Amino acid sequence: MWLFRWGPWLVVAVGCVLALYGLTAAGNIELRIAAVTLGAFMILAGVALPRIMGEIALDARGFKANVQGIDQLDPSALAAAVTEAAEKAIPDSYPHKDEFVRELAAKTVQTWGGPEALAGRWWAQLAPNDDEPEKLDLVELQVKGEDLVADIRRCQPQDQSERRWKFVGKIRGSFLFGMFYTTTPDINALSYGTIQLRREDPAATVWSGFYVRLEVKSGGEAWSSALEPVGLRWQRLEPGAEPIP
């Protein structure tokens, strides 16, 4: 029947219209937020439901299903599916279509996944700084309520592999922020500061920004201190991938 063939695309199209209204219209902010939220769920329904195979579960942790062989609706798969559906449903003549599709995918991931979607393992790439080379850390991120909590360990350079940190932070939209402090003070006692990152892709798999720490230096007979920002990039480690020892 035509309903089964075109119904999902009709749902996606209506969801795009609602999301478009919420993102671009002027007026009541609560009405706009409701339109974006409802539009995102309609897009999700139109994209995901026709692809569901096997059992569906709804529990305290949210919705889970076997969607095209995916164990759950992870952010990367969801962003890709929403992007595909929106590109087909929105006419090419629509102004700034590419920007709108990217923002729509990001809003859908944010609305559906919440901070729980960030849980997992991440690479943290620290930019070279002064005489220090580029560094690579492994971040094991957990979500506890509204808080992001992570254990961080240095992977490269290998002569710093015993260094460890704890991170505690939050996420607000496309902004991730928090504080870190050493858990190996006998090795790096002065390693603490703040992290500020901005989401770089709709699937929230890459975040970039900087961290700030207090740099204490000796200038002959005097000591000086300054806040020093250093470039930082977090990138999700694919499931099953082995981190560097």
The verdict on pTM exceeding 0.75 is: no
* Pair 131, 201 in one domain: yes
37 exposure class (CB count in 10 Å sphere: 0-12, 13-18, 19+)? middle
**Looking at residue 231, what is its pLDDT?**
95
* Pair 187, 133 in one domain: yes
* Pair 38, 140 in one domain: no
* Pair 147, 108 in one domain: no
Identify the domain containing residue 216 by its residue range: 117-236
**Looking at residue 220, what is its pLDDT?**
57
The answer to whether 188 and 165 are in contact (CB under 8 A) is no
| Long-range contacts of residues 169-173, Cβ cutoff 8 Å, at least 24 apart | 169/195, 170/146, 171/115, 171/118, 173/110
Q: Is the peptide bond before 243 cis (omega within 30 degrees of 0)?
A: no
Q: Which of 173, 235, 230, 231 is nearest to 207 (CA)?
A: 235
* Pair 46, 131 in one domain: no
Q: Does 150 fall in a domain? A: yes
* Pair 100, 126 in one domain: no
* Pair 39, 106 in one domain: yes
The answer to whether 191 and 213 are in contact (CB under 8 A) is yes
* Pair 102, 143 in one domain: no
Q: Does 64 fall in a domain? A: yes
**Looking at residue 59, what is its pLDDT?**
41
* Pair 127, 224 in one domain: yes
DSSP H/E element including 202: none
pLDDT in tens, the chain (245 residues): 444 444 555 666 666 666 666 666 666 766 667 666 766 766 665 555 554 444 444 444 444 444 444 444 556 666 677 777 777 777 788 777 788 777 777 766 665 556 677 888 999 999 998 788 999 999 999 988 879 999 999 999 999 999 999 999 998 878 899 999 999 999 988 889 999 999 888 778 899 999 998 776 665 555 556 788 899 999 988 755 555 54
Region of 194 (left: φ > 0; alpha: ψ -120 to 50; beta: rest) is beta
Instruction: Report how many domains make up the chain.
Output: 2
Q: Does 243 fall in a domain? A: no
Domain of 200: which CATH number? 2.40.128.120
CA 15/CA 21 separation, integer angstroms: 10
CA 111/CA 44 separation, integer angstroms: 10
Q: Does 40 fall in a domain? A: yes
**Looking at residue 57, what is its pLDDT?**
42
* Pair 31, 138 in one domain: no
* Pair 230, 123 in one domain: yes
CA 216/CA 224 separation, integer angstroms: 6
Local structure of 219: helix, strand or coil: strand
Q: Does 242 fall in a domain? A: no
φ/ψ of residue 30, rounded to 5: -65, -40
Among residues 113, 130, 156, which one ends one of the domains? 113
Among residues 50, 81, 113, which one ends one of the domains? 113
* Pair 171, 214 in one domain: yes
Among residues 92, 113, 134, which one ends one of the domains? 113
DSSP at 143: E
**Looking at residue 172, what is its pLDDT?**
84
